[in-house]
Amino acid sequence: MALRDRLAADERGGQDNDLAAVYRERLLEEIDVDELARLSPAQRRVRMERVLSRMLSLDGPVLSARERSVLVQRIVDEALGLGVLEPLLADESVTEIMVNGPHDVFVERYGKIERVPTRFTSVAQLHQTIDRIVSQVNRRVDESSPMVDARLPTGERVNVIIPPLALDGPTMTIRRFPTPFRMAELVERGTLDTSTAALLGACVRGRLNVIVSGGTGSGKTTFLNALSGMIPQHERIVTIEDAAELSLQQGHVVRLESRPANVEGRGAVIIRDLVRNALRMRPDRIIVGEVRGGETLDMLQAMNTGHDGSIATVHANTARDALGRLETLASMSEVDLPVATLRDQINSAIDVVVHLERALDGSRRVVEVGAVTSHRREEYELVLLVRFVADPVGAERVVSGTFVPAAVPPELAERLHRAGETVPVVHAP
Ligand SMILES: Nc1ncnc2c1ncn2[C@@H]1O[C@H](COP(=O)(O)OP(=O)(O)O)[C@@H](O)[C@H]1O
Ligand SMILES: [Mg+2]
């Protein structure tokens, strides 16, 4: 019987043929668990593969080299805990794993989604893997709690939703957070150029309030993280997020994360609550991962009451649009403020908007940096300090172009100057 069929027989529950299970058990008996614990994940895998191959060649069934290696892989994967997902988790380039039922697995690499041949042998096996994952954080998924959202001890974010809510079987999304890019790496990748990075560095050190805007997946969080890297080491930074993604390198960082309501619908702590609480924590800077609603007003008020140098991201289509979005979001708070008042808040709070875009070829780029020059209740006025001018796209569909700087408006130049920062001098082209 071919191995594939034998494994399929496993799935049908044929205990007689449960080769993988038998060897998995023997492997776990034979191997020194304490020794394993001292190894790195990669070494652990190699060690287990070795022991298992030896066992199989001593008394295992007759298998071709290929069949043996498939079997070894599968048993080791299962023994390591996350079953067939292990190779995907071991792959550094995978940033998201999406399991839509046992037979449809997709991953995201470099911002692109692709289907992978990974399959669970059955719904039961998928359930087992899900149970293993969520039990690490003392959660369970069953009829009474069919949705779970959790962060693993290793930092990944996991969301599980099962039938009948998910129509095509247990569905799991694992988001991983690769080592974040530093500003220098973003420059290297062409996300922005050196002078734009220098200008933004001056803005951050000079305690301007900065908004990072862009569409979904345009690289806002990544950029926010890199930008935060420019905050001086000694400052007290409070970060506020829905799902903690930021990883700041500074020594004095307090990370806050919101919490959804429990099954009875109680106990929710929203971004808003956290922003308000953060104000009582003597922060030098407040960083809000993404503003999506009424908390925008609290953030603007924080920026206007001495918490300069704060940074947040917002979903918007252009730098100019970001200001309009902030206004709409701030108006979603239960405090009913006239539009003119909101505009006043935004004009005085926001200094700089950095807008990112994801191009056709998947590359992410700073396409606009704008300075807010309007005051009080005036219509928003945004002066572009830098804009990306794309070259015509050739046959290879690779996007290239130039970052075109413009003069820094006098008021902003003055502020940077007072903060001891050098203001770039731009000569007319
Ligand atoms: N400048 C960049 N260059 C290359 N890849 C990037 C860049 N910024 C983000 N990415 C990748 O794009 C994906 C989405 O980035 P993220 O910062 O989470 O976007 P957003 O917060 O706008 O939704 C991630 O996989 C991230 O690694
Ligand atoms: Mg984000």
CB 186 within 8 A of CB 212: no
Residues 61-80: tens digit of each pLDDT:
888 888 888 888 888 877 76
Confidence of residue 6 (pLDDT cuts 50, 70, 90): very low
Same domain, 76 and 136: no
Q: Whose CA is closest to 355, among 328, 376, 374, 382? A: 382
Model pLDDT, residue 428? 54
| Residues shown for the chain | 429
Last residue of a domain, one of 58, 80, 102: 80
Residue 129 has pLDDT above 90, yes or no: no
User: Is residue 166 located within the same domain as residue 199?
Assistant: no
Q: Are residues 172 and 207 in the same domain?
A: no
CA distance 77 to 74: 5
* One domain for residues 222 and 364: yes
Q: What is the pLDDT of residue 81?
A: 62
323 and 194 assigned to the same domain: yes
Mean pLDDT computed over 313-317: 98
Token pair for 396 = 């290879």
Hey, whose CA ends up nearest to atom 24 of ligand 1? Answer: 111
Query: Do 36 and 154 share a domain, yes or no?
Result: no
Say whether both 334 and 236 belong to one domain. yes
Q: CB of 219 closer than 6 A to ligand 1?
A: yes
Among 81-85, 164-168, 326-330, the range scoring the smallest mean pLDDT is: 81-85
Q: How many domains does the chain have?
A: 3
Q: Can you give the pLDDT at residue 1?
A: 44
Stretch 239-253: mean pLDDT: 89
Q: How far apart are CA 367 and CA 354, in angstroms?
A: 8
| Euclidean distance between CA atoms 322 and 329, whole angstroms | 10
How high does pLDDT run on average in the chain? 88
Q: Residues 188, 264: one domain? A: yes
State whether the beta carbon of 217 lies less than 6 angstroms from ligand 1: yes
For residue 424, tell me if it sits in a domain. no
Which protein residue's CA is at the shortest distance from atom 16 of ligand 1? 219
pLDDT band at 255 (very low <50, low <70, confident <90, very high): very high
Tell which wins on pLDDT, 94 or 180. Answer: 94
Measured between alpha carbons, how far is 367 from 214 in angstroms, rounded to an integer?
Answer: 10
172 and 257 together in one domain: no
pLDDT at res. 303: 93
CATH of the domain at 87: 3.30.450.90
3-class secondary-structure state, position 85: helix
Angle between helices 41-59 and 65-79 (to 10 degrees): 130
- Is the same domain home to 136 and 216? no
Euclidean distance between CA atoms 77 and 86, whole angstroms: 6
Residue 70 exposure: Cα atoms within 13 Å on the Cβ side? 13
Note whether residue 363 is domain-resident.
yes
Domain stop point among 80, 101, 116: 80
Burial (CB < 10 A; 0-12, 13-18, 19+), residue 156, is middle
Which pair of structure tokens corresponds to residue 17?
A: 């043929």
Q: What is the arithmetic mean of pLDDT over 355-383?
A: 96
Q: Are 299 and 286 in contact (CB under 8 A)?
A: yes
- Residue 112 forms part of a structural domain: yes
Residue 425 belongs to some domain of the structure: no
Is residue 343 a contact partner of residue 380, using CB atoms and an 8 Å limit? yes
Q: What is the mean pLDDT of residues 326-355?
A: 95
Residue 353: which domain range? 183-418
| Ligand approaching nearest to the C-alpha of 315 | 1
Atom of ligand 1 nearest to the CA of 96: 25
Question: In the prediction, which pLDDT does 349 show?
Answer: 97
Q: Give the nearest ligand 1 atom to 356 CA.
A: 22
Instruction: Choose which residue among 175, 364, 403 to substitute to test ligand 1 binding: the one with the highest number of ligand atoms within 8 A of its C-beta.
Output: 364
Q: Would residue 173 count as lying in a domain?
A: yes
Strand order, beta sheet including 401-405: 253-257, 237-241, 285-288, 311-315, 210-214, 352-358, 364-372, 382-390, 401-405
Q: Kindly state whether residues 90 and 67 are assigned to the same domain.
A: no
Assess if residue 74 is contained within a domain. Answer: yes
**C-alpha distances in angstroms, 358 versus 98, 231, 386, 400?**
21, 26, 17, 12
Reading the block at residue 243, the tokens are 């799902």
With beta carbons less than 8 A apart as the criterion, state whether 183 and 283 touch: no
Flag whether pLDDT at 17 surpasses 50.
no
Q: Which residues contact 17 (CB under 8 A, 6 or more apart)?
A: 6, 9, 10
Do residues 287 and 414 both lie within one domain? yes
- CATH code: domain of residue 222: 3.40.50.300
Say what the pLDDT of residue 296 is: 96
Query: What percent helix, strand, coil does the chain show, rounded to 5?
Result: 40, 20, 40
118 pocket-lining for ligand 1 (C-beta < 6 Å): no
Q: Which residues pair with 389 in a beta bridge?
A: 402
In a domain, 220, yes or no: yes
Return the bridge partners of 288, or none. Answer: 240, 312
Rounded to the nearest angstrom, the distance between the alpha carbon of 11 and the centre of ligand 1 is: 39
Q: What confidence score (pLDDT) does residue 41 get?
A: 66
**221 CB under 6 A from ligand 1?**
yes
Looking at the CA of residue 189, tell me the nearest atom of ligand 1.
3
Q: Which of 212, 222, 399 for mutating ligand 1's site (highest number of atoms within 8 Å of CB)?
A: 222
Residue 429 included in any domain? no
CA of 290 to the centre of ligand 2 (A): 7
pLDDT above 50 for 381: yes
Which residue among 151, 178, 205 closes a domain?
A: 178
Of 385, 274, 297, give the one whose Cα is nearest residue 343: 297
